[in-house]
Amino acid sequence: MSQVGTAAGWEPTIVAFCCNWCSYAGADLAGISRLAYPASLRIIRVPCSGRVNPHFVLRAFQRGADGVLVAGCHPGDCHYTTGNYFTRRRYLLMQRLLEYAGVNPGRFEVKWISGSEGPKFAQAAREITARVRALGPNREMRDEA
Amino acid sequence: MRRIGVFVCWCGANIGGKVNVPAVVEAARTFPNVVYAEDNKYTCSEPGQAAIRSKVTELKLDRVVVASCSPRMHELTFQKTVETVGVNPFLFEMANIREHCSWCTPDKAAATEKAIALVRTAVAKAVMNDPLQPFPIPVTPRALVIGGGIAGIQAALDVADTGIETVLVERDPSIGGVMAQLDKTFPTLDCSACILTPKMVDLARHPKVRLMSYAEVEEVKGFIGNFQVKVRRKARYVDLKNCKGCGDCAAVCPVKVPSEYEAGLGPRTAIYRPFPQAVPGAFTIDKAERPPCVRTCPAGVNAQGYVALVSQGKFKEALAVEKRQNPFPSICGRVCNHPCETECNRGQVDVPVSICAIKRFIADTVYADGSEEPVLPASAKDERVAVVGSGPAGLACAHSLALEGYPVTVFEALPKPGGMLRYGIPEYRLPKAVLDREIDQVRQLGVEIQTNAALGKDFSLTDLKARGYAAVFIATGAHKGQSMGVPGEDATGCVDGITFLRDVGLGKPMDLDGRVVVVGGGNTAVDAARSALRLGARDVIILYRRTRAEMPANSWEVDEAVHEGVKLHLLAAPVAVTVRNGRVAGLKCIRMELGEPDASGRRRPVPIAGSEFDLPAEYVVTAVSQSPDTGFADGVLELRRGGIIAANPVTLQTSVPGVFAGGDAVKGPATVVEAIADGNRAANAIGLYLRAEAPEASAAALADQPQTGKPFTIPKDVAKVPRAVMPTLELSRRRRNFTEVELGLDAEAAMAEAARCLNCGICCECRECERACEPKCIDHSMQDETETIEVGSIIVATGFKPMDPVAYGEYGYRRYPDVITSLEFERMCGASGPTSGQILRPSTGKPPHTVLFIQCVGSRDEGKRGHQYCSKTCCMYTAKHAELVMDRVPGATTYVCYMDVRTPGKGYEEFYRRTSEEYGARYIRGRVAKVQPNGDGLRVRVEDTLAGRPLDVQVDLVVLATAMEPQADSMDLARVLKVGYDADGFFTEAHPKLRPVETNTGGIFLAGTCQGPKDIPETVAQASAAAVKAVALLSKDKLLASPIVSYVNETLCAGDFFCQPICPYGAIEEKELAERIAGRPVTRKVASVNTGLCQGCGACTVACRSGAINLKGYTNEQLLAEVDAVCLK
Amino acid sequence: MTETVRLTGQGLEQLLGAAAGATGGLVAPVTEDGQVLFRPVREARRFDYINAVTPPKDFWFPQTERLFKFKTVPAVALEQAADPAQRVVFGVRPCDLKSLVILDAVMATGEFEDDYYAQQRSATTVIGVACTGAGPHCFCTAMGVTPGDEAGADLMLYPDGDGFLGRAVTGRGAALTAAHAGCFAAADPAAVAAAAAAARKLVPPLAGRLDVDGLRERFADNWDSHIWGEAAQRCLGCGLCTYLCPTCYCFGVSDEVRQGQGVRMRCWDSCMFSDFVRMAGGHNPRPGKLERVRQRFLHKLRYFPARHAELACTGCGRCVAKCPVGVHVPELIMLDREAR
Amino acid sequence: MKDNTAPLRDKARALLADKAACVIGHARDRDGLRARPHFAKDERGVGALILDATCHHNLAKYLLDYPYLEAKVGIVLKGCDALALERLVADRRVDRAKVVPIGAPCAGMADPVKLQALFPGGVTAVASGPDGFTVTTAAGRQPPAPRAGLLLERCQACHQATPPDTELLAEPVAAPTVGPAAEVARISALPPADRLSFWQGQFSRCIRCYACRNVCPACSCRECVFDQFQPNWLGRRTGLAQTQVFHLTRAFHVAGRCVDCGECDRVCPVGLPLSALNRKLLQDAGELFKLAEPWRPGTTEPLGTYKLDDPEEFM
């Protein structure tokens, strides 16, 4: 379990959109289980990963997020039955479009994390943070205004 | 400007230990729109809530942000708090700085920084929050309980007792569940049935309960208070109302399968009642999908049915079953190519059942003893039908029509009826006497057979019409032998196989002296060859251009031919008939080799250049192919290539209305059973035609019925039994005569052979039950029915299943008969069980002296084979089992191998103490490593971890305390219900402590072991709790629904309805909007949200490019504000 | 240093190099992906171009201009943007030079002086370069501008063989020549005048096809003409013409506030956008394409001249070249002619 | 395309005689080279209609200007334009019953820039065939010009030469496909850093005039998100990140819905290769979700449905 100190220079900002029923609960469980992960990952609660408009992802990058995670229930487990299947399609395309536009695909991720997968949530948080930290600050889409 | 108050919680040290709370408060004060911030030790406590209330009032706060734990924990708490002081609950916002911050961030500075960011984000969202009002939805005052185990029974009774209508859906024929299978219950050792069955009866009699047994929930639509549940009521085939439960039906049922209720330890019949106290008490017929033998038979003859009856010695009943689809069992029992045997599932165990031999046995036996019960034709009808051709197709058709009461005349061109049966199949395979007997039976039904009457020669189709025949069935067969197309075929001594066999059949005197070469590889060739041998040929050779494997003839016929001395000359083809003085002198042949596969999938024979050779012969029989002789068609009937008659494949009607055709005349050369199938089909079609049914209706009536019912799985532990051998005539007695070669099975052999049947269809549809049932409440044609019921609440009580311990190979379950599961043991203890309550070793049927119980089989196992969880009940029931052994088998020794003994329950520890201390059960702490047979018993190796040494224990019986598992299809049901389930497949409760019987889906509650392993008292308590929850919901007229729903900005909505297919609830509807454009009234379509259906997922919002559809509580504005705030460094 | 100068090719490079090295830097036409654009550059080379795809307007009237920053917490406080640094814009053609005269008339003359614009203007030294050829879409002379006009330039250059003849038109221009005296040689004023006169004689072909007799009078009484409908039905309603127009100056002011930190800025707007004059509450005085197209062209050819005595079109031809559906000033002039 | 002017005028006359409100087609622009959209409402208007290889405008979106019309509207549609009509119909923005689609089989359009370079004096008609272009000028018919020299770039990857479901003015023609558009493959093959700088270089030229959006038949919102102030999805501020978000969002909004008519490329005043974004999404949607590319009528919108076994390549 690695915890990166905040003193060690630049830390990325990761925005995580978590669906209320699975991934947000998974993040709660990670906390309840006292699983440490980098503090630079911050969660925005949405009812369903299907609520996450790709524009929100672009907005996060534009506002200087260095990485974005969209987390939802496992396919087949959506509280709303099918929301995450649409999420999957949207972000399969989005990921490729970002890459095509020159945004490093490592900055963006979709994960299926259930309410019982606290360790998986913590692991996902550590992984994306480590990856984005290695990529450095988002210079691809940051709005310098 | 907003007036936001921020309250940051220490949560004691939970937050305060990692987050610098005062720093967060300080930062919050600098956020725009924040007019006040403070910290509290425990914001959720009454003083904390009081602080919020007083500050809201004092400072006129219009929004409140609490930074504390997860909103999943306390959002509702604080929403209620602010509501009491006049702030709309949806103007409250929460920052999760505990689960998402202090608990997962060891570094204090980082945690503080993150907490500030999370509070900033919550404030940013709160700024954009709008007040929302829950809206009322009506409630259907009816509850549904899924599952009729003790949990479902208790829940249903509790709900119904409040006067609310309750529907209980149970998928098995009876309610009762696993508890009904138990003998005694711990720790009181009271009889399970004694406490359960009264409740079952109460339920059945309760005026407010509707019991839907043998039914399953297929689909759930709607939402809390308003569910529409589609229930499939499986066909019971027994009228529930009229069945008296007398059991006469089961007494005559010939099919035995393992009883589920007896955990496989005993059999039950296909028509059954799971146990005597079952509720409802009616019987049920268990049908699987059509068995492969029936499915494969072209005529759909119910092979399983007559085989099952033979196994019971019911021969005449078997014959009746046989004759439903096939009027010629003694013929088919001799000459059928029996594809049923090829498909027979028994072939996957050892060898297929000898169905054809059994069929012949039935007919021969019953005909011989004259016990056949005559079938009476239906009342006579007026329309006369002509059948042209008296082969199997024509006679089968005539037989069926005659049974329906139609006067039928059969026209036969040849001197005697039977067609190819008579003139194509030699006597040694099908004695003419056998043939005549079954043709006579057709005659006895009133069918007139006119012989020497050939269509096209002696009469025409027009004549038939003129003579008043309302319909005609043409089944003239394929009697034209094809020539080989080589020079010299017209020489004397060269004849085609059809003609040859016909001459044999007509009894023309023939003396074949010399060598006969039969060209071809089909059944005609083999029949000709074997006949030739019998006619005195010195030498008979079958010349075939491919290899033995490609020969289309029945392989057993080829075997017999070779056995009798016929020689096979393979991979050679004739090039010319050598003619000397106008007589055959031999064949000029060429050798072949196999090339690429052709259209038939067989490898194409290719001549080898220069390999010609001469084959001297006195006779040549060409049996290469045959075709229908349809010269009579005369341009009136449409023909296809090869002269076959064009007929609709379903109705068999030809191009002339009222004229039908079938058999070889339509199919080309095919089998007897296919011809019979066509005859039956034609009779059906003609009946429909004569009753002037619409063509579509008749097509539907005639089409092959789709396969329904549950699939059959071959049991794993079927013992191998050799197949019956058909006795045959000694070889020496086959020369120069046509005596029948196959001699038939005797009754003992036939019954033994019939007992090999696996009963793949379960119910064999012999319909003995129908005959036995006095109130006539059995209906084999019953269909599943679906019904949609409207309920306001659903209680899920689908229970568990015991784990199959076969994965634990070291315990030897299924390999050693004396290793059984705890549920099997439970049945063994039951007074009404398979051993009448005696504890016996399955291998010997004698009481065991030493019994060893292995606990935690599949439970508390981190490996792939089992479950991590504790199944909670096994420690106690194992103690109970040990006591039962020692009570019932005097002097018996018991061992219990355990990991820990867990006894948390009232009286549990005392019970365990008694078992170990008073009864003296020997508890060994350790996992069993191996169970091995040793001498008469089993040797169990276990490490005694307390003593620190391995032990070998010699025992007579091993009982495995298997884990409780969710039902195999629990996840499917979860998806139907849209409730969550955990990694093991148990349904998840809304909150493990505070909402243990609710699910995350409003209106759906959980009871019993579908939520997790638990014992009976706990299950019953949970069931009552779920009932109260349901009643609390259903006793309201209206519910307040969450205002978190989508809404449409109609100005923006372009009406493309991309949102519509995204919505899983069908909540997006079309609405016509009237507007004035340039003074002109116009309308346009916009989306409109049905708030009763919308569940607030918001997936629609993303489909809308212009953002016209938005989600209250999670608007685009709110989420963009959150993104902006959370990204701020 | 005299008012008239000669500049060799080498001298130009020296001059531009120096400008590029200064704080505000140098803006000059460059080719990117085949498109001629004014861009801040580190070095500039002379090359042949008729004109840039986009006007240099962005450098004195930026598409997005941050006016000032502000805070709302704990109390409202403003922070003015720093004054713009001195910079040189090189290679501006006479039509775009004329646009400065027009923009100045609106924003830097008389009662309402726009500080932000004025600051940008005074910080910018504009080096004009006379045309040596006309593109198929140019029609400046029809709008009263010639390819040799110097109005709007600080320093005007006329191509002369390898180098240029030039004249410092304004004090800023004179200051430039003075500051970089080493780059320039003195030139005979007569030679410069002759070069200017020669450049002024060039007539773009499209201008020759336009009948502009009585243009202002004609456009003063064609409000009800069917020509507006003709043109408007093709219009896509995009802002291409206004954003490419060197003289269009409409803008909107908005704030971006995040967490109490705000920026006030003004951004170009376009009268061709349907929401341009939409008011709070939804009323739109120019609801259709017809009204918007009419507004745009009447503004260029009638309202602006009425107030400022100048046509608000310099004939740069960008709208002619780029409007995907052929709605532009010459089109309207021709439509009007035909309608009479 | 053949010069179909004469049959078009006949058809237009017939339609107007049959009380059609208007026939939307093309006329020769005043520069004597290009065509421009033209709305024929009377005999004079019919006389100005032309239909040849200069008529590259996709007119379908003009149908949005006729939303509540009682009468029918005739409209000239090439293959790609006909898909645009289907797009608008599928988006329920145009009532197909009100439209009389006049189909113009098209063997490729002439590039006006190349045309101007070859015939600065203007043209009267340009016909295209499988072998090349036949240009007629005031001086008469010119010798045939080879295809490669004049063909509009977007027509090189033509996927729909003959307009489906229209009344054809001429015999169907084969698509003149030279090969698939190479731009997407070229950009995809760039190293990531170069890809970023490529797109940033392109986007830096964007002036946000929204011509690409306004011409796009898949962009038919009543009010575009980029024009909305509440919520402030983007705002009117310019800047590289803003422009990136604009173009990527727009590309995503037409993801898999694009009919690949290439009009965005044509109208862009600063030459952005916008269709390379849309084509990329079409290709990806096609590959990931196994769809026909480009969008075809009757197919489900790729983001409006799902399959249980959709790939999960990075989840």
Residue B707 has what pLDDT?
66
D116/C136 CB distance under 8 A: yes
Residue B700: pLDDT band with limits 50, 70, 90: confident
| Residue (of B1022, B1019, B1018) closest to B999 by Cα position | B1022
Which residues from chain D sit within 8 angstroms of residue A103, using beta carbons? 196
Taking a C-beta distance cutoff of 8 angstroms, is the pair A97, D284 a contact? yes
d(CA B1030, CA B794): 7
Which residues from chain D sit within 8 angstroms of residue C331, using beta carbons? 30
Which residues from chain D sit within 8 angstroms of residue A141, using beta carbons? 241, 244-245
pLDDT over 70 for what percent of chain B?
99
B1106/D221 CB distance under 8 A: yes
In this predicted structure, the answer to whether residue D114 has a pLDDT above a threshold of 60 is yes
d(CA B553, CA D95): 66
Backbone angles phi, psi at B940, to 5 degrees: -110, 125
Please give the angle made by the CA atoms of B263, B265 and B269, to the nearest 5 degrees. 90
Which residues from chain A sit within 8 angstroms of residue C263, using beta carbons? 145
Token representation of residue C339: 């309608």
Pairs across A and C, CB distance < 8 A: 3
Please give the torsion angle defined by the CA atoms of residues D276, D279, D280 and D284, in that order, rounded to the nearest 10 degrees: 180
Residue A5 has what pLDDT?
39
Q: How far is C70 from chain B (nearest CA, A)?
A: 13
Residues whose CB falls within 8 Å of the CB of residue B81, separated by 6 or more in sequence, listed in order: B49, B52, B53
D221/B1062 CB distance under 8 A: no
pLDDT digits (tens, 9 = 90+) for B973-982: 998 887 878 8
Q: For D64, which residue in chain B has the nearest alpha carbon?
A: B1054
| Residue (of B217, B243, B244, B210) closest to B231 by Cα position | B217
Rounded to two decimals, the ipTM of the complex is 0.94
Chains with 3 or more CB pairs under 8 A to chain D? A, B, C
Strands across the sheet with B539-543, in order?
A: B494-496, B619-622, B515-519, B539-543, B567-569
d(CA C216, CA C333): 10
Q: How far is D256 from chain B (nearest CA, A)?
A: 13
- How far is the CA of B487 from the CAs of B484, B544, D248, in angstroms? 9, 18, 81
In this predicted structure, the answer to whether residue D149 has a pLDDT above a threshold of 90 is no
d(CA D163, CA D77): 7
Cis before C74 (ω within 30): yes
d(CA B62, CA B40): 20
Q: Which residue has the tokens 């320039």?
A: C184
For an interface test with B, give the residue of A2, A4, A10, A45 to mutate (most B CBs within 10 A). A45
Token representation of residue D67: 């939303």
pLDDT digits (tens, 9 = 90+) for C55-92: 999 999 999 999 999 998 888 899 988 888 999 999 99
Residue D177 has what pLDDT?
59
Question: Which run of H or E residues covers position B653?
Answer: none
- How far is the CA of C299 from the CAs of C102, C207, C234, C274, D150, in angstroms? 13, 20, 19, 17, 39
Residues whose CB falls within 8 Å of the CB of residue C266, separated by 6 or more in sequence, listed in order: C64, C65, C67, C116, C251, C252, C253, C254
- The most distant pair of C-alpha atoms in chain B lies apart, rounded to whole Å, by 133
> What does the pLDDT average to over B698-711?
73
Residue A1 has what pLDDT?
33
Q: D85: how many CB neighbours lie within 10 A of its CB?
A: 27
d(CA C97, CA C131): 12
Token representation of residue B128: 């954009």
Average pLDDT of chain C is: 93
d(CA C80, CA C114): 15
The helix, strand and coil proportions of chain A, stated in percent and rounded to the nearest 5, come to 40, 15, 40
pLDDT digits (tens, 9 = 90+) for C287-334: 899 999 999 999 999 999 999 999 999 999 999 999 999 999 999 999
Token representation of residue B343: 């498909």
Cβ–Cβ contact B103 with A under 8 A: yes
Q: B272: how many CB neighbours lie within 10 A of its CB?
A: 26
For an interface test with A, give the residue of D242, D275, D314 to mutate (most A CBs within 10 A). D314
Residue B871 has what pLDDT?
96
Q: Which residue has the tokens 């609710």?
A: B998
Backbone angles phi, psi at B403, to 5 degrees: -60, -30
Q: Taking the mean position of all CA atoms in its chain, how far away is CA B477?
A: 40
Q: Please tell me the pTM assigned to this model.
A: 0.67
Q: Taking the mean position of all CA atoms in its chain, how far away is CA B692?
A: 37
Residue B13 has what pLDDT?
95
Strands B515-519 and B619-622: parallel
Q: In chain C, which among 238-297 make CB contacts under 8 A with chain D?
A: 238-240, 242-244, 252, 254, 256, 265, 267-270, 273-275, 289
Q: Which residue has the tokens 């230990």?
A: B17
d(CA D245, CA A84): 24
> What does the pLDDT average to over B1085-1092?
91
- How far is the CA of B315 from the CAs of B256, B367, B724, B760, B872, in angstroms? 18, 10, 18, 21, 53
> What does the pLDDT average to over B850-857?
96
Taking a C-beta distance cutoff of 8 angstroms, is the pair B928, B853 a contact? no
pLDDT digits (tens, 9 = 90+) for B239-288: 999 999 999 999 999 999 999 999 989 999 999 999 999 999 999 999 99
Taking a C-beta distance cutoff of 8 angstroms, is the pair B1090, B1069 a contact? yes
> What does the pLDDT average to over C82-105?
95
In this predicted structure, the answer to whether residue D178 has a pLDDT above a threshold of 70 is no
In this predicted structure, the answer to whether residue D173 has a pLDDT above a threshold of 90 is no
Comparing B302-306, B983-987, C163-167, C332-336, the range with the smallest average pLDDT is: B983-987
DSSP string over B272-338: E-SSTT-SS---EE-BBSPPHHHHH-TT---HHHHHHHHHTT-HHHHHHHHHHH-S-HHHHHHH---
D192/A92 CB distance under 8 A: no
Q: How far is A1 from chain C (nearest CA, A)?
A: 35
Residue C146 has what pLDDT?
96
Q: For C287, which residue in chain B has the nearest alpha carbon?
A: B1078
C324/D215 CB distance under 8 A: yes
Size (chain A), residues: 145
β-partners of residue D254 are: none
Which residues of chain A, if any, have pLDDT below 50? 1-7
Taking a C-beta distance cutoff of 8 angstroms, is the pair B522, B552 a contact? yes
Strands D99-103 and D35-40: unpaired
In this predicted structure, the answer to whether residue C22 has a pLDDT above a threshold of 60 is yes
Q: Is D303 helix (H, G, I), strand (E, B) or coil?
A: helix
pLDDT over 90 for what percent of chain D?
62
In this predicted structure, the answer to whether residue B896 has a pLDDT above a threshold of 50 is yes
D211/C244 CB distance under 8 A: no
β-partners of residue C40 are: C27
- How far is the CA of C159 from the CAs of B568, C98, C244, in angstroms? 107, 19, 26
Residue D180 has what pLDDT?
61
Among chain C, residues having any CB pair with chain A shorter than 8 Å are 66, 256, 263
A6/B110 CB distance under 8 A: yes
Which residues from chain D sit within 8 angstroms of residue C335, using beta carbons? none
Residue D181 has what pLDDT?
66
Q: Is B126 helix (H, G, I), strand (E, B) or coil?
A: helix
User: DSSP character for B709?
Assistant: S
Exposed (0-12), middle (13-18) or buried (19+): which is B540, by Cβ within 10 Å?
buried
User: DSSP character for B238?
Assistant: B
d(CA C23, CA C17): 12
Comparing B728-732, B741-745, B981-985, D162-166, the range with the smallest average pLDDT is: B981-985
Residue A7 has what pLDDT?
39
Residue B512 has what pLDDT?
85
Q: For D222, which residue in chain C has the nearest alpha carbon?
A: C274
Helix axis angle, B523-534 to B497-505, nearest 10°: 50
Size (chain D), residues: 315
Cis before D294 (ω within 30): yes
Residue B601 has what pLDDT?
76
Residue A6 has what pLDDT?
42
Residues whose CB falls within 8 Å of the CB of residue C250, separated by 6 or more in sequence, listed in order: C242, C268, C269, C270, C271, C276
Cβ–Cβ contact D299 with B under 8 A: no
Q: For B1098, which residue in chain A has the nearest alpha carbon?
A: A51
Residues whose CB falls within 8 Å of the CB of residue C292, separated by 6 or more in sequence, listed in order: C232, C235, C237, C271, C272, C274, C276, C286
Q: D195: how many CB neighbours lie within 10 A of its CB?
A: 18
Taking a C-beta distance cutoff of 8 angstroms, is the pair B5, B63 a contact? yes
- How far is the CA of B939 from the CAs of B73, B812, B890, B930, B955, in angstroms? 53, 11, 22, 8, 6
* B276 half-sphere exposure, CB direction, 13 A CA radius: 5
Q: How far is C297 from chain B (nearest CA, A)?
A: 25
The sign of the dihedral angle between the CA atoms of C90, C94, C95, C97 is positive
Cβ–Cβ contact C73 with B under 8 A: yes
pLDDT digits (tens, 9 = 90+) for B545-595: 999 988 999 999 999 999 999 999 999 999 999 999 889 999 999 999 988
Residue C1: pLDDT band with limits 50, 70, 90: very low
In this predicted structure, the answer to whether residue B789 has a pLDDT above a threshold of 60 is yes
In this predicted structure, the answer to whether residue B886 has a pLDDT above a threshold of 90 is yes
Average pLDDT of chain B is: 93
Residue C152, sorted as left (phi over 0), alpha (psi -120 to 50) or beta, turns out to be left
